[in-house]
């Protein structure tokens, strides 16, 4: 494969929108590649998620690596350096904030990955060879890094003219609107609708302030459940607010090593539905006991009850990481629920062991009823699942 070169220094530089758009196109293509790869890998797994067709899985990953290299060559190779330069210039102009050091480290990491990709593509292996497979495999972590984190560079390149809060309120107007919003909050009539962070690290929220059946869209700065928050503007509609307020910056992550394109291989897992079915079909107490013990199993192939506790603990960490009053309160509740699940898991485990120790079978008078069930017609449409509840608040 012939690598795409960097722009000719004597030729025209890409226009500003071209740079973030190139990274967005690459991320979109990588998302498609990721979905296609997961679909292919699903065909290589058994019912519990274990890969049982290793050669097919290796082929799927090799196709993924090759497609990712092609996507980078097409979309990003001509623009990567210019995008990083634009992002660094924008970063240097931002006001001091806690997240800037992390963003700078991300840009440095992307630059290092771009260098590795350029070096490898400058010495391409023979097409279709094992060496090409190995080369593409070695490049995958760098390509995944760009797919995971180039949104920060894109956002910075887009921020050049969106950092100023237009038409700020006077001190007197700000005090008056803040008092009105605080009164509405006490009445339960301050309805938060959207939240984001500005470049200086300050949280911004949009809310509907309801007074006498009349609603006004206002913008708040700070945590509305903590002292010191203020109204910084009022607007006729959300479009006007978006044009006037500080632009949103990318939100953070719960764990620094998170990657949407390098997820760990899932552990084998038995569903609760299957365990319940095992109990329904059991005739010996030991079979029902084994289903319960599978639900409480710990370690690599943990059971559903242990996974639920992990979910609660991780969600508690997430809520705490929001660094808001409500977030800390919810984190404490979720942590308490996790402890309750841990206690319940131990109780279920003991009950399962006691059930297995009964050495009993179901009495014969529990006779099965013979039913010959007709197969559904080929064109039968399965029932429509109930719609999922939507969250009222949106986040930019």
Q: What would the pLDDT profile of 59-118 be if each residue is shown by its tens digit?
A: 999 999 999 999 999 999 999 999 999 999 999 999 999 999 999 999 999 999 999 999
pLDDT at 14: 46
pLDDT at 134: 96
User: Does 396 score more than 90 pLDDT?
Assistant: no
Q: What would the pLDDT profile of 320-338 be if each residue is shown by its tens digit?
A: 999 999 999 999 999 999 9
Angle (nearest 5°) at CA 59 between 56 and 60: 90
Instruction: Kindly give the interhelix angle for 54-75 and 18-42, rounded to the nearest 10 degrees.
Output: 170
Work out the mean pLDDT of the chain and round it to a whole number: 90
Q: Span 372-389, mean pLDDT?
A: 68
pLDDT at 213: 84
Q: Span 45-71, mean pLDDT?
A: 95
| In contact, 246 and 165? CB cutoff 8 Å | yes
Q: What share of the chain in percent tops pLDDT 70?
A: 89
The count of C-alpha atoms lying within 13 angstroms of the C-alpha of 102, restricted to the half-sphere facing its C-beta, is 13
Q: What would the pLDDT profile of 140-199 be if each residue is shown by its tens digit?
A: 999 999 999 999 999 999 875 445 566 578 999 999 999 999 999 999 999 999 999 999
Largest CA distance in the chain: 91
pLDDT-derived band at 234, boundaries 50, 70, 90: very high
Q: Span 355-383, mean pLDDT?
A: 83
pLDDT at 266: 85
> What six digits make up the tokens of 206?
């949009």
Q: What would the pLDDT profile of 261-316 be if each residue is shown by its tens digit?
A: 998 888 889 999 999 999 999 999 999 999 999 999 999 999 999 999 999 999 99
pLDDT at 371: 83
Q: Using CA atoms, how far apart are residues 20 and 34, in angstroms rounded to an integer? A: 21
Global pTM value: 0.85
> What six digits make up the tokens of 378?
């080929």
Q: How many CB atoms lie within 10 A of CB 270?
A: 18
pLDDT at 378: 63
pLDDT at 370: 87
pLDDT-derived band at 132, boundaries 50, 70, 90: very high
Burial grade of 231 (CB within 10 A; 0-12, 13-18, 19 or more): buried
Q: Using CA atoms, how far apart are residues 260 and 147, in angstroms rounded to an integer? A: 9
> What six digits make up the tokens of 383?
């029932």
User: Does 231 score more than 60 pLDDT?
Assistant: yes
pLDDT at 118: 96
> What six digits make up the tokens of 127?
């097409």
Q: What share of the chain in percent tops pLDDT 90?
A: 79
pLDDT at 8: 47
């Amino acid at each position: 494969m012939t690598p795409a070169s960097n722009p000719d220094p004597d030729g025209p530089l890409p226009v500003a929108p071209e740079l973030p758009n190139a990274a967005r196109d690459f991320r979109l293509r990588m998302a498609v590649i990721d979905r296609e790869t997961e679909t292919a890998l699903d065909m290589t797994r058994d019912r519990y998620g274990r890969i049982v067709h290793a050669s097919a899985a290796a082929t799927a990953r090799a196709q993924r690596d090759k497609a990712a290299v092609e996507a980078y060559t097409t979309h990003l190779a001509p623009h990567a350096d210019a995008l990083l330069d634009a992002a660094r210039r924008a970063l240097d102009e931002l006001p001091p904030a806690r997240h800037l050091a992390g963003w700078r480290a991300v840009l440095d990491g992307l630059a290092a990955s771009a260098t590795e990709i350029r070096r490898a593509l400058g010495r391409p292996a023979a097409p279709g060879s094992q060496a090409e497979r190995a080369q593409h495999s070695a490049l995958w972590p760098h390509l995944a890094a760009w797919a995971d984190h180039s949104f920060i560079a894109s956002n910075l390149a887009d921020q050049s003219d969106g950092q100023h809060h237009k038409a700020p309120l006077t001190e007197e107007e700000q005090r008056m609107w803040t008092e009105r919003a605080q009164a509405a909050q006490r009445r339960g009539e301050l309805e938060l609708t959207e939240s984001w962070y500005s470049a200086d690290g300050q949280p911004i929220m949009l809310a509907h302030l309801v007074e006498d059946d009349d609603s006004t869209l206002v913008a708040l700065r700070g945590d509305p459940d903590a002292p010191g928050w203020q109204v910084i503007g009022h607007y006729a509609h959300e479009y006007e607010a978006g044009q006037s307020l500080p632009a949103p910056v990318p939100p953070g992550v719960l764990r620094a090593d998170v990657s949407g394109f390098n997820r760990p291989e899932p552990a084998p897992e038995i569903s609760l539905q299957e365990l319940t079915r095992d109990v329904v079909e059991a005739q010996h107490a030991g079979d029902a006991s084994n289903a319960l013990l599978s639900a409480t199993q710990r370690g690599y192939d943990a059971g559903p009850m242990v996974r639920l506790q992990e979910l609660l603990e991780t969600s508690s960490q997430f809520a705490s990481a929001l660094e808001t009053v409500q977030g800390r309160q919810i984190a404490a509740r979720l942590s308490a629920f996790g402890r309750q699940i841990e206690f319940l898991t131990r109780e279920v485990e003991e009950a399962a062991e006691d059930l297995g120790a009964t050495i009993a079978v179901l009495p014969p008078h529990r006779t099965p009823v013979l039913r010959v069930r007709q197969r559904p017609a080929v064109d039968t449409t399965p029932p429509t699942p109930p719609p999922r509840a939507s969250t009222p608040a949106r986040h930019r």
